Structure 1
């Protein structure tokens, strides 16, 4: 009888702390590496930073394209300037025009 009492007493002394330590370890591991743990939170923050950087790049690219497109509208184009630039780039002239050659290192504008 004495042995049974000693065993029960030992179990009563060991089981509650063991359960407490087990629960603490379980919650500690989940707090660090679980689906909502610290490591997962850090990964989500990195993804958020990457998404914000991609958004900034997309907005800047969209602004650049909108500037280019607005320059192509009819009211933004000057016919004389467009004619001048197209002739300069294509190296063309009309029969009655006077052409003044420039040296290779002289800047036109």
Structure 2
């Protein structure tokens, strides 16, 4: 009987620490692998960096288009820009010009 009482006391003494360590393990696991954990944060930071690169490329493309459009506005007409666009759209060249062929999937503008 004394042996069983000793086992029972030891078991009761281990219940609270076991529950505590189980809860700590649960929260530690979710702190790493949960939807708001460290690994998810790293994935979000990577996505944000990729989105910022795409944004910078889009802004650069928009700025280039704005510069080209600004040269064709009626208030400030750039004759060279107008002639370049007309030649590109009509597919016309003069005798002293050099032609650089582009692949069909590459855009000039």
- Gap runs ≥5 in structure 1: 92-100
Q: Which residue of 1 aligns with 2:7?
A: 7
Max Rg structure: 1
* Moved beyond 3 Å, runs of 4+: 78-83
Aligned residues: 92
Give the structure 1 partner of residue 26 of structure 2.
Answer: 26
**What is the CA deviation profile of residues 36-73 of structure 1, one whole-angstrom value per residue up to 9, with x for unaligned ones?**
11000000111111111111111111100111111111
**Cα distance in structure 1, aligned partners of 2:10 and 2:80:** 102
Structure with more contact order per residue of length (Cα contacts < 8 Å, sep ≥ 6): 2
CA RMSD of aligned residues (A): 2.9
Could you say which residue in structure 2 is the equivalent of 1:77?
77
* TM-score between the two structures when normalised by the length of structure 2: 0.67
Q: Which residue of 1 aligns with 2:38?
A: 38
Under a length normalisation based on structure 1, what TM-score does the superposition of the two structures give? 0.67
